[in-house]
Every structure is written in structure tokens, then in C-alpha cells.
Amino acid sequence: MDQLLYASEVFINGLMTGVMYSLVALGFVLIYKASGVFNYAQGVMALFAALTLVGIMNGQVPFAHLINAMFGTHLDKFGWTVPAVLAIVLTAGVMVLLAILIEKLVLKHLVGQEPIILFMATIGLAYFLEGLGDVMWGADIKTLDVGLPQGISDTVEQLTDSWFGYGFFIDRLDIWATIIAALLVTALVAFAQYTKQGRAMRAVADDHQAALSVGISLQFIWIMVWSIAGFVALVAGIMWGTKSGVQFSLSLIALKALPVLMLGGFTSIPGAIVGGLIIGVGEKMFEFWIGPMVGGATENWFAYVLALIFLVFRPQGLFGERIIERV
């Protein structure tokens, strides 16, 4: 009985973790769907967005370290702080600007290239953004607090305690992440289904050539998609950054999203969510049951192996578009 309770606790926490993975995976899916680009820089974008957010909130002087090194000044902070909501809006603006720059300077010149070339370009982008983020805001670990609660949820603990005699642990941040993820996905789906731009975006995703021929501006759609992905990166950055502080390792969460993508399919938004949940639950359950027998720390590879097993049966992922091959 105890084992069952523990297992269900692990199960629920796995679901919650899965939501956090999905948040990162969403950004990949959006860009891949609309432009066929596998955006390796998505993780670094999350880091960059979170760094910018903290920088704006704390009133840091951008490029302070560079300016100080060049001119021998002692710039550090402007001396004001910006409320979280305003800072998020401003950061979203920065991400839009970034999207425009990426389109103008990189993607525009690579229209019609093979996917692997575009993938490579995003690697270059990742290098560049990583350096830029550090030069702009410094390599310190920054505390991010936008007012999201953290820690065990007492309500859940007391409730489950009165039901089962064992209080479940659920992190309040995870509950918030779930709510925010649900809102985000609803908004994205509504946007894609009911707005003109959203429909144009889906048209581009289906067929670039056809979309162009009916007068949809590819350029605009790409900027839009990259902006949305930048915003998703910001949300992911806030969630993960709240937990661990904003620091370089934030860019590595992309690695957590890759098995989710494989499993859910690169082209499906519901796939990113369901994939995230399956990976989250799968790796937590495996670590719980099998982990102790093989020495633990299995989570990193188990997610990939799980996705691999799925793929052998469904090579396009759970929700991916069917691959039809013709000669």
C-alpha cells in the first residue's frame, strides 16, 4: 500500500516535471512547424530571455563589464528596479527585436537551403547568443523572483493526508507552471485557429510555395514565429530560472526537451505536451522502481531510450505527420 502511495506521488510529480519539459519543447515545435528549422538555439534563447528579464528588473546596465573594461568606468546599476510585469513585457519586446534581427541577418539569406544547413545556422546563433548574453549581463548567477510561489503545497499535503494517511508533495511552482502552460497552449491554439495571422502561419507550415503564391509574406510569418518562440523561451526561462537562479546551465534544458520532441513529433503542439508528460512520468517512475537497482542517475538516458523505443514503432513520433515516401 505504501509503495502504491509513493508510486502515485512520483507519478504526479512526473506529470508536473513533464509540463516543465513541454514548455521548452513547445518553442522547438513552433519554429520547426512553421519554417522547418530545427532550432538548436532554443535553450540559449531561454537563457538569454531570462538574463534580460533579470537585468531589466534589477536595473542592470547592459554591457557594463565591457564598458568598464574599455573606459575604466565603474558602471553597474541604474539604481532603479522595474516591476515584474513591465519587465516581462519589455523582455518580450527584446525577443521580438531579436526575431527580426535573426530573420533579416540570417534566415533571409538561407531561404531554400537544406534542413541541416539551417540547423547549422542555429548552432552559430546559439554560440553568438551565449556570448552576447554574458557580455550584456555578466556571467553571475542571478536570483529571479517574479512573484511565483515555491515550495510544498500545504493544501495538497493536508488533503492527501486526510484521504490516504500520507501527505503528497507537490511544488506550488509546478502547479503554476501547469496553469501557465495550459494558458499558453490554449492561446497558441486559439491564435493558430482563429486569427488571420495564425491561419497564414499554418498555411506556411503546410507548404511554403503554396503559401507564397497566395500572397502570404514568408518574412512576416517567420518573424512572428520566432517572436512567439522567443516568448515561449521567456516563459520556460522564468519557470526554470525561478528554481535554480538564472545561469549558464539554463541553456542546457534544451537537452531535456529533445526526447520530448522525438516522442511527440517535431510538428505537433499537442505532441509536445503529451510527449513531455510521458517522458516526465516515465523517467521518474524508472528512477523510482529500477534506479536503485542499477545505481541511480538514470534519468538522462532513460528519457532517450524511452523515446527511441517509441520511435522504432512509430518513426514519426506519436503525433508527427506521417512520413510518406515516394520515389
Nearest approach, Cβ of 123 to other proteins (angstroms)?
6
Residue 152, classed as helix, strand or coil, is strand
Minimum distance from CB of 1 to other proteins (Å)? 14
Instruction: Give the CA-trace dihedral at 158, 163, 165, 166, to 10 degrees.
Output: -60
**CA–CA separation, 125 vs 47, rounded Å?**
13
Q: Which is nearer to other proteins, 88 or 253 (CB)?
A: 253
Spatial separation of the C-alpha atoms in residues 280 and 22, rounded to whole Å: 9
**What are the DSSP calls for 268-308, one per residue?**
-HHHHHHHHHHHHHHHHHHHHHTHHHHTS--HHHHHHHHHH
Task: Output 45 or 129, the one with its CB closest to other proteins.
Answer: 129
Degrees to nearest 5, angle at CA 184 with 180 and 190: 145
The set of residues, in sequence order, having a beta carbon less than 8 Å from that of 203 and lying 6+ positions away, is 210, 211, 214, 216
- By C-beta, is 76 or 197 nearer to other proteins? 76
From the CB of 186, what's the least distance to other proteins, in Å? 26
Q: Choose between 171 and 200: whose C-beta lies nearer to other proteins.
A: 171
Of residues 14 and 216, the one with the C-beta less far from other proteins? 14
Q: How far is CA 265 from CA 28, 50, 51, 276, 311, in A?
A: 11, 27, 30, 11, 10
CB of 317 to other proteins, least distance (A): 7
CB of 200 to other proteins, least distance (A): 25
Q: Which is nearer to other proteins, 85 or 252 (CB)?
A: 252
Q: How far is the CB of 315 from other proteins (least distance, A)?
A: 5
Other C-beta atoms lying within 10 Å of the C-beta of residue 48: 29
